[in-house]
Amino acid sequence: METKEITIAHKKIKERIELYTHYTGEARRDAGLPARLAANLQASNEDATQLCDHIENAAIEARNIVANYFTHCTATVTDDAESGGCAHHFAMKIPTLYPAEAVQALVSTIENYIFRRALQEWLMQHRPDESILQGNEVKAATQQLHRLLTQRSKPVAATATSNKNIKI
Amino acid sequence: MRNTILIKRDELQQQTDLRNFYMGESAKRKDNDADTLQSSTEEKELFVMLQSRALNELVTAVGLRFSFINYSIQEEYIEITFNTTDERRSHLLPMLKQAIIDYLVNEINMQWLLLRQPAMAQPYMSLRASLYSNVQQLFAKFYNGSPVRRRSTNLAGI
């Protein structure tokens, strides 16, 4: 089993949420939603603590999902020097037969899951109707994570097999 | 003369892993959590125990009938030795080796499935008797004089 370390910076996910909600708000306003409600939907720098809270909860949920399959998975929060915020540090033990190609897909799926989950929490507070759509996305991301975590590659013989029959 | 059969333990492990891999892959189509069926060298401790249990069971059962058989488990190989009076049947040794490997792999897989998913172990359990009788019949060829139990139809047809 090898250990894989993944770092997910909160800043990256926060930016993604802010971008998404910004464009969603603009679209809703153009579609006729009152400007006040559309502005309520948009996340910005002022909501940083709230977003951080949502992201942390989503990260812990992601860790729980992964820990179901890869039994040793820890998630710790550290301070991210570059962005000044915090970062989530996942350390997981990848099973022997796990295909190498799937590891990168696993990293991006975890990020995706955290993004969708945190976004769902945010929308549940500010505009519950939108959060139903995000709920479907979260379900899809969970399913994808499950499928990725159960992938295995074919076992290869360590050494060439030698068949010896000796008569003494 | 002394006949020796050497079976590489890695080969047993690899065959078991390969079988479990394919079984798990097809089970995953129905239920994604079938990755618990797939084994690898991580479970080496468990498989060492299962290997020695399976081998002991086989050799004991055969040894009750043919008492000249001996086995030892070493680091890399499993060694099964038995004495025969002459070289007459030595061409049967590779067949005997394959029959023993088949039995061991079947037994190990069965025990592994009984741990992980007992419902799927049924096919292996039904194969056990026939694979064992293969080994026993081949052994009987080496000791021509030993009585092998004949089927009642055979006896009645004299």
The tens digit of pLDDT for each residue in B89-108 reads: 888 899 999 999 999 999 99
Within 8 A of B97 by CB-CB distance, chain A residues are 163, 165
Q: Given an 8 Å threshold on Cβ–Cβ distance, is A168 in contact with B41?
A: no
Q: Given an 8 Å threshold on Cβ–Cβ distance, is B10 in contact with A164?
A: no
| pLDDT for A167 beyond 50 | no
ipTM: 0.76
Give the CA distances from residue B101 to residues A18, A61, A100, A137, A161, in Å, rounded to whole numbers and listed in that order: 62, 45, 32, 49, 13
DSSP helix/strand/coil, A90: strand
Q: Which residue of B has its CA nearest to A149?
A: B35
| pLDDT for A53 beyond 70 | yes
How many Cβ atoms sit within 10 Å of the Cβ of residue B131?
19
Q: Find, among A112, A134, A154, the residue nearest to A21 by Cα.
A: A134
| pLDDT for A83 beyond 70 | no
A44 φ/ψ angles, rounded to the nearest 5 degrees: -145, -175
Q: Give the A:B interface size as CB pairs under 8 Å.
A: 68
Q: Given an 8 Å threshold on Cβ–Cβ distance, is A95 in contact with B5?
A: no
DSSP helix/strand/coil, B5: strand
| Distance in Å, alpha carbon of B13 to nearest chain A alpha carbon | 9
| pLDDT for A7 beyond 80 | yes
Q: Specify whether the CB–CB gap between B66 and B143 falls below 8 A.
A: yes
| Closest by Cβ to B40, choosing from A97, A147, A149 | A97
Higher pLDDT, B111 or A162: B111
Q: What angle do CA A80, A82, A88 make, to 5 degrees?
A: 25
Task: For chain B of 158 residues, list the mean pLDDT of each consecutive stretch of 10.
Answer: 90 92 91 87 91 94 86 92 84 92 96 93 94 91 66 63
| Closest by Cβ to A96, choosing from B3, B40, B94 | B40
If pLDDT is split at 50, 70 and 90, which confidence band does A168 have?
Answer: very low
3-state per-residue secondary structure call for B8-50: EHHHHHHHHHHHHHHHHHHHCCCCHHHHHHCCCHHHHHHHHHH
User: Residue B148: what pLDDT?
Assistant: 58
User: What is the distance of C-alpha B155 from the center of its chain?
Assistant: 29
| Closest by Cβ to A155, choosing from B11, B40, B94 | B40
Cα–Cα distance between B38 and B23 in angstroms, integer? Answer: 8
Per-residue pLDDT, averaged over A62-79, amounts to 86
Within 8 A of A1 by CB-CB distance, chain B residues are 42
DSSP string for B82-123: EE-SSSTTGGGHHHHHHHHHHHHHHHHHHHHHHHH-GGGGHH
If pLDDT is split at 50, 70 and 90, which confidence band does A166 have?
Answer: very low
| pLDDT for A61 beyond 60 | yes
Cα–Cα distance between A5 and A7 in angstroms, integer? Answer: 7
- pTM comes to 0.81
Q: Given an 8 Å threshold on Cβ–Cβ distance, is B17 in contact with A155?
A: yes
**What would the two tokens of residue B133 be?**
């009788």
Q: Given an 8 Å threshold on Cβ–Cβ distance, is B38 in contact with A97?
A: yes
Per-residue pLDDT, averaged over A74-102, amounts to 81
The tens digit of pLDDT for each residue in A104-116 reads: 899 999 999 999 9
Residue type, A38: A
